[in-house]
Structure 1
Amino acid sequence: MANQRPHDMEVIPSGCHFHIKLLKINREHLVTHICNTQCLLDNLLKNGYFSAEDAEIVCACPTQPDKVRKILDLVQSKGEEVSEFFLYVLQQLEDAYVDLKPWLSEIGFSPSQLIQSKTIINTDPVSRYTQKLRHQLGCNSKFMLCYAQKEELLLEETYMDTLMELVGFNNESLGSLSGLACLLDHSSGILNEHGETVFVFGDAGVGKSMLLQRLQSLWASGRLATGVKFFFHFRCRMFSCFKDSDMLCLQDLLFKHFCYPEQDPEEVFSFLLRFPHTALFTFDGLDELHSDFDLSRVPDSCCPWEPAHPLVLLASLLSGRLLKGSSKLLTARTGVEVPRQLLRKKVLLRGFSPGHLRAYARRMFPDRAVQQHLLEQLEANPNLCSLCAVPLFCWIIFRCFQHFHTAFDGSSQLPDCAVTLTDVFLLVTEVHLNRTQPSSLVQRNTRSPAETLQAGWRTLRALGQVAHRGTDRSLFVFSQEEVQASELQEGDLQLGFLRALPELGPEGGQQSYEFFHLTLQAFFTAFFLVADDRVGTRELLRFFQEWTPPWKATGTSCYPSFLSFQCLAGSRRPGLEPFRNKDHFQFTNLFLCGLLAKARQKLLRQLVPKATLRRKRKALWAHLFASLRSYLKSLPRVQSGGFSQVHAMPTFLWMLRCIYETQSQKVGRLAARGISADYLKLAFCNACSADCSALSFVLHHFHRRLALDLDNNNLNDYGVRELQPCFSRLTVIRLSVNQITDTGVKVLCDELTKYKIVTFLGLYNNQITDIGARYVAQILDECRGLTHIKLGKNRITSEGAKCLALAVKNSTSIIDIGMWGNQIGDEGAKAFAEALRDHSSLTNLSLAFNGISPEGGKSLARALQQNTTLTIFWLTKNELNDEAAECFAEMLKVNQTLQHLWLIQNQITAKGTAQLVEALRKNTSITEICLNGNLIKPEEAKVFENEKRIICF
């Protein structure tokens, strides 16, 4: 009986000795699976069931099994209540007695009210370590990582979710995410069941680090219900601090370099190895990882106790060779690719929408008058509005506004000049430097921006030296020696440009520093290149070489191999950084153009000789023009639809941003001259609304008509506003998948009806309602050359459909209407049926996935009996049945124009299919009727095999 397992044991009748008997029968099972006796002793002592002498007797036992047996002997000798309490401790402390959980469930243990009233203390090492992790992450994530060290902003009060979008392997949209908990949800957006890494990517400043900080805060406070017991957060740039000779085992990496257990680290680590699914790792900024360590020198690491270089451990964790089954959340800037087999989900961060911006203003400025004043200034300055789509830039602009409001007696006016990113960073530099000025209640600071920069010249020069050294080597963490070598003083560090990092390891180490964001490091790098007279032309233009795609020089792929593959394959091409993203170089180029712009000459001439500025500006402009001309010439052209089409890449956007920073119309004109194509494709370039400012700055100098494809970006309504100077030239406008609302469509309506030259309008998969549909209808009414409208996957109902259908009916130019995935229903279908009747130009129509019932379908079928132009008609994913199929069959006996009829995923059976087949005997023009996904069984479909135009499967 001693070794009898629960499922073999006899049923013990409830009685006064039930729990004692339970312990006796399962004695050896308990001895085998109880590894932690300290928790039991602590709780038995705490509740007065054991005396100090009892505990001493147990501790005197030589082995762990002997201690368990002695505890069982003492517990049983003390009676039923103590035995029941013993089981209650096993049940409540799951981490300590995880192996007994199935047994406790199987015996159906349910404690009495008396036992439930007893206090349980958790001294289990795993539970205590989890508590310590929660405490540490709670402290680390309480305050927002802000640019001013002396300011403490509560994350809870300042954080706001950004637009998060699930994407596929090729970055195609799979829908939006509603909250951070969805990142770790296993029910949606899964690309690869075997992958363990959720990859979150987005542009610099879009909020990746803040998202992870918020995730830490939620877990630390118990608001992230994921079953995660261990949360380890690492910043990838910190791996650059390890030397080539550093060797660590996984336990040391987790405990010594993150959070050390207060007791029994071996037991905690053993639990982690047994249950890796209880661990969540977050790795922030994969693209910021830089090391000269040669991964090919070391073997793969798959043993958790074997020392290896930290980079090898990182690669092994991400690949699943270590702690397979644990969750990993990895962030990087756009452009870094992760192998598909590692990915579980891909999430693209898109920043703030106009709605987010208004909500953020309400959060940052509770005073409604101040809030309204800020929003009015932003609305009056579209360039600033566009920059605010990037959360980091939005926050900086808001903090500058707050500074002016506080420092200048409520006069919170943002300077009119702040229209480019360079202006914004000059502004934040001025705000920081003015903190050194003594404050006065009666006298305001009257220093001009030029005087402020001149007064802080020594500090700016020293910061520039630090930034330049780091940017040149793609390093973002600086040692104490590097900071001291730049002659930065203690007071300079208090300004907030640089912040101290937590010291590595439990014993501490050398203090390290970083700029509060890589964009600030890029700004000071550019400042150094402009202001230091010793910087020659070659060094000035050093980072523009990064515009050259690596495959041009090496004949290889654009993106070097991923680190885990480098490590696993044991090979690495010299000179290539596997993770490197070039944004820090591109931002340096951008700020370089901004600082050397003619408009900044007055500001900088007190710091830099006029001749130096002129020499550097001349060299920069010549190189910028040559780069743009060479780049555009290198792009392949495709002749399509009467257009000479060129598909530009994100590099082109960076060039346009740099040109915009110059604010020189001459530069803009010269750039426009280099665009020889008349169809510019910029789809999937991750362009944001601020890029539209740069695009317009150049394209409004383009004097020919132009087709512009900006599908699948992140422009939103502010981007549409920024494109206003271009609309007088645009004949094709593709803005699908861009977060555009009715507000943006109104701007389109106002502009396009002025010039009346548009022929193609693409607004698929945005956020357009019936209000926006009315604006599109007005465009169709007034622009008599409009031939194509794409409005699928918006929020248009029958009311909007009626307006559109009426405009279609009255149009003699429209060829193609796409309405897939709206909610027009039968009323909308009837309106389009009326438009179809006797229409003179419409050839393509999609009303798929619109909630159309048989009634609406019959209206459409009857209308097609009088139509002689429509050749393609999509009615996929509606609610059409055999009645509707019968009407379409009658139509086909008359209509000899329709070629493609898609009735996929409706409710048509073999009966309706037979009627359609019968109608085909009298119709020779139709090419296909697609009925895939209807209520037709495979054996029924065999009857129709001879009619090749009917496609059932």
Structure 2
Amino acid sequence: MEKQGCSEMEIVSSESHSFIKLLKVNREHLVTHIRNTQCLLDNLLQNDYFSTEDAEIVCACPTQPDKVRRILDLVQSKGEEVSEFFLYVLQQLADAYVDLRSWLSEIGFSPSPLIQSKAVVNTDPVSRYTQKLRQQLGRDSKFILCYAQKEELLLEQMYTDTVVELVNFNNESLGSLDSLACLLDASTGVLNEEGETIFVSGDAGMGKSMLLQRLQSLWAAGQLDPGIKFFFHFRCRTLSCFKESAALCLQDLLFKHYCYPEQDPGEVFAFLLRFPHTALFTFDGLDELHSDFDLSSEPDTSSPWEPAHPLALLASLLSGKLLKGARKLLTARTGVEVPRHLLRKKVLLRGFSPSHLRAYTGRMFPERATRQRLLDQLEANPNLCSLCAVPLFCWIIFRCFQHFHDAFESSPQLPDLTVTLTDVFLLVTEVHLNRTQPTSLVQQNTRSQTETFRASRDTLCSLGRVAHRGMEKSLFVFNQDEVQASEVREGDLQLGFLRAVPELDLEGEQESYEFFHLTLQAFFAALFLVVDDKVGTRELLRFFQEWTPPGEAVATSTCYPPFLPIQCLGGHSLHGEDPFKNKDHFHFTNLFLCGLLSKGKQKLLRHLVPAAALRRKRKALWTHLFASLRSHLKNLPRVQSGGFNQVQALPTFIWMLRCIYETQSEKVGQLAARGICANYLKLTFCNACPADCSALSFVLHHFRKRLALDLDNNNLNDFGVRELQPCFSRLTVIRLSVNQITDSGVKVLYEELTKYKILTFLGLWTSADSTYSL
């Protein structure tokens, strides 16, 4: 409509140099589309084209159109130069006068050198708010806060890309992204043109939050899509901290609880509503939402001025009922599903590839000799290499290595044994507990791990109590009362395991706390179950009940992780469960419980818990684990196909394998192997990672018969291939297609499998490529 209007009016070319006539002919068009008079006044005053009295005359006009008319009258009365400068301001401040872009293009306005030498200041509220957002996000994203909260590293120096893979609705690969900017590319990986949400998922520790921090940094530096003028970042868990009775409009959520405009918030919000495509929203951690608030009782929110609960605003933003056209980027752990009609793209984070790991090693250890020493130890310990595929665990392992390097500079050595996740988290706990010890210039800390844990038993118990109480309620943010009730002291808060986080509340900010990472909370919850001698058998084993979703029939389950119903996104709760409930935190607690009660940890734990209680808990756990394994393996569905007795594994089986491996018990491994009453084990599309190959090999090397193994469409990469080596002597069929395996992994397969000469089929295609066979 605007273009048509422009074509119908008489347009005087700026080449005629009669800028006064140009303003007269297009007077009503300018009056209609100039909404910001302050920018014009500021620039006319700064360049001495207007006097203070001129500005006062304009400001005295009752309406905005009247102010524009008075400015035009004054500008034209002052001659051609002032009229030309007036047009120059409209051209240079395109965001402030967005409705005049096409008109300025049509008249072909080109300022003279004199006018171009004049300074133009941007006092437009929208532009100033964009600048404030850039400054805030640039400041917030500049540093990576390290685990102990005592060291900050520059994001620019430490950030390393991971494998970011576009997938379709069925999680089948569509190829990797070359850069984070491609996430917002309108032509890459679009699954649904009507969808507005880019959904990024990945396992715990894969770097979802770091990816968002990197995006914030890029936008703040002006290195993202220039069309994005607003960047709003929210953590989903904070939205569920609002009281059930809380109600606020979209403008209050964005301005009062994120970043407030320095001037004219109404004008900024009006621009956002008019041009929603200029906004990017990021919501981190959908799986960490926790709320008893019943969204089904709330009407849909489609008005930006109507107050609603923040969770209702989140749902309406993601669905496009609010700010339709704005781009939204949502993250969650693997296993969370979002209704397809909301999705525009779907992305999986796959962690570090070997090349990414080498790049990250170079950033963490700039000194060549130290870096090579670490790479040599990783080469000698495939299990550590597999853990390093997960960026969070990689960081922990590197920091532990650095600790050993600093403590034993002459010959830094990581423990010469199989390292499990429990070992890693025990080690990092020891490192940070020792930070509280007095330092000396001439003497290093020589306390053993046992002495460190024994001296810090009260701290471990109080932190464990907070973690366990949170696990029971699926809570990840704790207020002051909850922390104090668990007897957490001020010194405990300084260790870095808990960090302060502002709790959003309409009545103001109240300091709350959270564990640095969900996996760390699971570790401390498991430690509490072991160390507190008052914990009985029922409480010890409580979280194992979460292995299988209630009502899930074994015969009908798929090999995908449990579905997380999200009511507020249009899904439906299964069996009346909390729609925001994800089970990974329970599974990790079980995993760490198995590791802490393993035989190898008794020497440490006997100084923290009475021997009788420790024996009772170990016996209860093994009895339950044996019974669960027998029951689960016995009921797995089987299919007779191609001469094989094929068993279709379930997500529960993957978690059981992880727990078995964490125990490092050969007896448990042998029992699990005997329970696999089939000669074809299918584990496709189970999102298995390299560390899962360690657990798989731990069981399968006890399998006394020949076996076919199908691991197609997982995330194993070359590390996983190396971890499978112990069971190659049993395999007649192995399928490893679509697993990011490179020539390095193929070389391991060739060298190992040709030793036994029993393989009949090897699947290694990437998508539609050829199949290798030996």
CA offsets 1:533-561 (integer angstroms, 9 cap, x no match): 11111111111111123333899995354
One-letter code of the match for 2:293? F
Is 1:725 the equivalent of 2:726?
yes
Q: Could you tell me whether the CA contact under 8 Å between 2:567 and 2:573 is conserved in 1?
A: no
**Cα distance, 1:667 vs structure 2:** 1.1
One-letter code of the match for 1:127? S
CA offsets 1:343-379 (integer angstroms, 9 cap, x no match): 1111111101122111111111010000000111111
One-letter code of the match for 1:552? E
1:159-558 map, 5 Å:
159-409=159-409, 411-417=411-417, 419-502=419-502, 504=504, 508-552=508-552
How many Å separate the matches in 2 of 1:593 and 1:526? 9
CA offsets 1:122-148 (integer angstroms, 9 cap, x no match): 111111111111111111111114212
What residue is the counterpart of 2:22 in the other structure? 22
Going from structure 1 to structure 2, the CA distance change for 1:636 and 1:572 (only over 3 Å counts) comes to closer
Is 1:688 the equivalent of 2:689?
yes
What residue is the counterpart of 2:633 in the other structure? 632
How many Å separate the matches in 2 of 1:721 and 1:418? 14
Is 1:563 the equivalent of 2:567?
yes
CA offsets 1:513-572 (integer angstroms, 9 cap, x no match): 1111100000000001111111111111111111123333899995354233458xxx76
Q: Could you tell me whether the CA contact under 8 Å between 2:338 and 2:569 is conserved in 1?
A: no
1:615-630 map, 5 Å:
615-630=616-631
CA offsets 1:254-290 (integer angstroms, 9 cap, x no match): 1111111111111111111111111111111111111
How many Å separate the matches in 1 of 2:760 and 2:522? 42
One-letter code of the match for 2:237? R
CA offsets 1:559-588 (integer angstroms, 9 cap, x no match): 354233458xxx766741223321111110
What residue is the counterpart of 2:704 in the other structure? 703
Going from structure 1 to structure 2, the CA distance change for 1:125 and 1:15 (only over 3 Å counts) comes to closer
How many Å separate the matches in 2 of 1:205 and 1:254? 28
**Cα distance, 1:648 vs structure 2:** 0.6
- For the residue of structure 2 that corresponds to 1:375, the secondary structure is helix
What residue is the counterpart of 1:745 in the other structure? 746
CA offsets 1:452-482 (integer angstroms, 9 cap, x no match): 0111111111110111111111111111221
What residue is the counterpart of 1:78 in the other structure? 78
| Structure having the higher Rg | 1
Going from structure 1 to structure 2, the CA distance change for 1:664 and 1:290 (only over 3 Å counts) comes to same
How many Å separate the matches in 1 of 2:6 and 2:348? 50
CA offsets 1:844-874 (integer angstroms, 9 cap, x no match): xxxxxxxxxxxxxxxxxxxxxxxxxxxxxxx
One-letter code of the match for 1:94? A
1:830-909 map, 5 Å:
none
- For the residue of structure 2 that corresponds to 1:280, the secondary structure is strand
Q: Which has the higher contact order (CA 8 A, sep 6+)?
A: 2
One-letter code of the match for 1:73? D
**Cα distance, 1:505 vs structure 2:** 6.7
How many Å separate the matches in 2 of 1:293 and 1:151? 38
Over the aligned positions, Cα root-mean-square deviation in angstroms equals 2.1
- For the residue of structure 1 that corresponds to 2:729, the secondary structure is coil
What residue is the counterpart of 2:158 in the other structure? 158
How many Å separate the matches in 1 of 2:470 and 2:15? 75
1:544-693 map, 5 Å:
544-552=544-552, 559=563, 561-566=565-570, 575-693=576-694
Q: Which is further off, 313-322 or 11-20?
A: 11-20
How many Å separate the matches in 2 of 1:669 and 1:200? 38
CA offsets 1:666-712 (integer angstroms, 9 cap, x no match): 11111111111110000111111111110011111110110000111
- For the residue of structure 2 that corresponds to 1:233, the secondary structure is strand
- In structure 1, the gaps of 5 or more residues are 767-791, 795-816, 820-841, 843-953
What residue is the counterpart of 1:810 in the other structure? none
- For the residue of structure 1 that corresponds to 2:702, the secondary structure is coil
**Cα distance, 1:415 vs structure 2:** 2.2
**Cα distance, 1:408 vs structure 2:** 3.6
Going from structure 1 to structure 2, the CA distance change for 1:43 and 1:209 (only over 3 Å counts) comes to same
Q: Could you tell me whether the CA contact under 8 Å between 1:566 and 1:572 is conserved in 2?
A: no
**Cα distance, 1:56 vs structure 2:** 1.2
Q: Could you tell me whether the CA contact under 8 Å between 2:502 and 2:510 is conserved in 1?
A: no
- For the residue of structure 1 that corresponds to 2:640, the secondary structure is strand
- For the residue of structure 2 that corresponds to 1:331, the secondary structure is strand
**Cα distance, 1:508 vs structure 2:** 4.4
- For the residue of structure 1 that corresponds to 2:739, the secondary structure is coil
**Cα distance, 1:248 vs structure 2:** 1.1
- In structure 2, the gaps of 5 or more residues are none
What residue is the counterpart of 1:814 in the other structure? none
**Cα distance, 1:61 vs structure 2:** 1.5
**Cα distance, 1:17 vs structure 2:** 5.4
**Cα distance, 1:630 vs structure 2:** 1.6
State the percentage of identical aligned residues: 78
One-letter code of the match for 2:759? V
How many Å separate the matches in 1 of 2:38 and 2:412? 62
**Cα distance, 1:14 vs structure 2:** 5.7
How many Å separate the matches in 1 of 2:352 and 2:529? 32
How many Å separate the matches in 1 of 2:122 and 2:412? 53
How many Å separate the matches in 2 of 1:33 and 1:673? 78
- For the residue of structure 2 that corresponds to 1:232, the secondary structure is strand
How many Å separate the matches in 1 of 2:302 and 2:649? 43
Q: Could you tell me whether the CA contact under 8 Å between 1:669 and 1:701 is conserved in 2?
A: yes
How many Å separate the matches in 2 of 1:178 and 1:14? 45
Going from structure 1 to structure 2, the CA distance change for 1:728 and 1:210 (only over 3 Å counts) comes to same
- For the residue of structure 2 that corresponds to 1:655, the secondary structure is helix
One-letter code of the match for 1:547? W
What residue is the counterpart of 1:813 in the other structure? none
- Matched pairs, number: 768
Going from structure 1 to structure 2, the CA distance change for 1:573 and 1:637 (only over 3 Å counts) comes to closer
- For the residue of structure 1 that corresponds to 2:152, the secondary structure is coil
Q: Could you tell me whether the CA contact under 8 Å between 2:31 and 2:65 is conserved in 1?
A: yes
Q: Could you tell me whether the CA contact under 8 Å between 1:296 and 1:572 is conserved in 2?
A: no
One-letter code of the match for 1:631? H
CA offsets 1:926-949 (integer angstroms, 9 cap, x no match): xxxxxxxxxxxxxxxxxxxxxxxx
Q: Could you tell me whether the CA contact under 8 Å between 1:296 and 1:566 is conserved in 2?
A: no
**Cα distance, 1:504 vs structure 2:** 3.2
Query: Under a length normalisation based on structure 1, what TM-score does the superposition of the two structures give?
Result: 0.78
Q: Could you tell me whether the CA contact under 8 Å between 2:291 and 2:580 is conserved in 1?
A: no
Q: Which is further off, 358-367 or 109-118?
A: 109-118
Q: Which is further off, 24-33 or 408-417?
A: 408-417
What residue is the counterpart of 2:769 in the other structure? 793
Q: Could you tell me whether the CA contact under 8 Å between 2:646 and 2:680 is conserved in 1?
A: yes
- For the residue of structure 2 that corresponds to 1:54, the secondary structure is helix
Going from structure 1 to structure 2, the CA distance change for 1:354 and 1:555 (only over 3 Å counts) comes to closer
How many Å separate the matches in 2 of 1:572 and 1:668? 36
- For the residue of structure 2 that corresponds to 1:399, the secondary structure is helix
How many Å separate the matches in 1 of 2:418 and 2:18? 79
Q: Could you tell me whether the CA contact under 8 Å between 1:184 and 1:226 is conserved in 2?
A: no
One-letter code of the match for 2:319? S
Going from structure 1 to structure 2, the CA distance change for 1:52 and 1:556 (only over 3 Å counts) comes to farther
- For the residue of structure 2 that corresponds to 1:153, the secondary structure is strand
Going from structure 1 to structure 2, the CA distance change for 1:647 and 1:281 (only over 3 Å counts) comes to same
What residue is the counterpart of 1:66 in the other structure? 66
How many Å separate the matches in 2 of 1:73 and 1:340? 56
Q: Could you tell me whether the CA contact under 8 Å between 1:16 and 1:80 is conserved in 2?
A: no
How many Å separate the matches in 1 of 2:757 and 2:556? 46
What residue is the counterpart of 2:100 in the other structure? 100
**Cα distance, 1:102 vs structure 2:** 1.7
